[in-house]
Amino acid sequence: MEFTHASHRLALVSSGSTLELQFEPPGFRAVPRYIAEGASPTRLRIFIDVGLIEIYADDGRWCATKRIDSDAPITAFKLASGLENVREARVWALRPARALP
């Protein structure tokens, strides 16, 4: 899964034996962050907010949180997998809270 951000490159990659968050801030070389070696999750829940991404695999068996040093939001994501690997995908967008008077 690739995430679109104005200044950072982010991707969540599962090879079947590892689950890693690839994160490349501007001006640095890519440093993958392994969430778990030997992980082959069947369910992922990903929460995205401005400056933060949280990943929970198999109901919290493996998890990771990554802060993004930027005020720019993740604006899109792309799920790239064979159809045999994805049974269901759902996306929810939360509405921002109304400003108090």
9: its two tokens: 């490159």
pLDDT digits over 78-100, tens only?
887 766 667 777 887 776 666 65
Q: Assess whether pLDDT exceeds 60 at residue 25.
A: yes
Instruction: Write down the pTM of the prediction.
Output: 0.76
Domains of the chain: total = 1
**What domain range is 60 assigned to?**
2-80
Is-contact 66 53, C-beta < 8 A? Answer: yes
CA 30, 56, 25 angle in degrees (round to 5)? 20
- Model confidence at 30: pLDDT above 80: no
Q: For residue range 2-19, list pLDDT tens digits in order.
A: 999 999 888 888 877 788
Residue 42 lies in a domain: yes
63, 56 in Cβ contact below 8 A?
A: yes
Contacts of 66 (CB under 8 A, 6+ apart): 10, 21, 23, 33, 52, 53, 54
Asked if the structure places residue 6 within a domain, the reply is yes
DSSP string, 14-58: E-SSEEEEEEE-TTS--EEEEEEET---S-EEEEEETTEEEEEET
Q: Is residue 8 part of a domain?
A: yes
